[in-house]
Amino acid sequence: MEVGICVAGGVEELEVVDLAMLRDAGINSIYVGCYENEMRWHAEEYAAFVRAAALAGFEVCVIPWGYGKVVDPDPAIDSLYVDTHREHLQVDSRGRRCYKACPNNPKFLEWFASEMRTTAWMLEAHGFLWDEPSFYFSRGVWACRCEYCQRLFYAAENYALPRDLNEPVRAFRRLSIKVFVLAAAAAVQAVDNRLYSLVMPSPALDTTQDNTGTDDWADLLDSSAIDGIALYVPWQEHQVDPSHAIQELHTLAQARQRGTLKPCHLWLAASPRPQDRTIENIVVARRTGCPRVVLTDYTTVFRAQGSSRMVPRLRDVNATG
């Protein structure tokens, strides 16, 4: 099993990443979070880091964050596009604009594809991870009911988009996310057809509770645009045993493969704190047959208090895997 690390602290964190230490710890892949607003001014720094990591022998995967807040796990991440294109935002079931661009809006799609082509050309990575591409949902309020979503739904179903989040609407949202990822993958592969695309669905141990558009993992894996999925293990958020959560997610992913044999990576929140059980969780993931674990993130693992004691253990467990 391979072990990777996510670098999520932006351009300031790139300056302190110790590639030699990562190599010594047995890390072989780096997932670099690239923020929309930072890429406007610091693309050269990101490109230099990716080149250095690739030359050092790491597999590098880019994670675009904040772009229209469609691919964005953290609502605190700013998006200049959202701030300046209010007319392209999702419309919720109460008729209000959400702080999130609509993946069905053709103008947003055109802009996003252009941004991803530029990113792929500049960063020269090995692949891209589309992190939680999603529609808005909160406390029963859902999106999107903009004019483009209503037109597309009517064209597909021959009746108006309902105001209830019923199964036809959920299916429409799932299809919309698949098409969005297809457009994103096509954009980066137009630069280099060897670039792979992974998708991280919204974190869930029970996918029936996911109302963002990525609840059907089998449907995602069936897409020709998707080369694998990455699953965040939300054991701390759900207050469950991490070993159970890791095994459950891996079993769910395997059941949804449908013979595609595409990789399903597990993402683990990690730190030197004993209660986070980082080393033990890596061992459990290996036993399940998971092909890769990604630790989040560089600062919490390698710059936190106690990291000097954990790195040798991480090196030892990676050496045996």
pLDDT in tens, the chain (321 residues): 999 999 999 999 999 999 999 999 999 999 999 999 999 999 999 999 999 999 999 999 999 999 999 997 788 899 999 999 999 999 999 999 999 999 999 999 999 999 999 999 999 999 999 999 999 998 889 999 999 999 999 999 999 999 999 999 999 999 999 999 999 999 999 999 999 999 999 887 777 667 888 988 888 899 989 999 999 998 887 788 999 999 988 888 888 877 788 989 999 999 999 999 999 999 999 999 999 999 999 999 999 988 888 889 999 988 886
Of 4, 12, 9, the C-alpha closest to 53 is 4
Question: The pTM is what?
Answer: 0.95
Domain extents in the chain: 2-71+103-136+167-319
Q: What is the pLDDT, as a whole number, of residue 107?
A: 97
Contacts of 241 (CB under 8 A, 6+ apart): 235
C-alpha to C-alpha distance for 63 and 232, rounded to whole angstroms: 14
Of 291, 305, 269, 295, the C-alpha closest to 22 is 295
* Backbone Cα Rg of the chain: 19
Within 10 A of 301 (CB to CB), how many other CB atoms are there? 25
Cα dihedral 175/180/184/189 (nearest 10): 40
Q: What are phi and psi of 27, to 5 degrees?
A: -80, 135
Domain 2-71+103-136+167-319 has CATH 3.20.20.80: yes
Contacts of 236 (CB under 8 A, 6+ apart): 242, 269, 276
Q: Is 164 strand, coil or helix?
A: coil
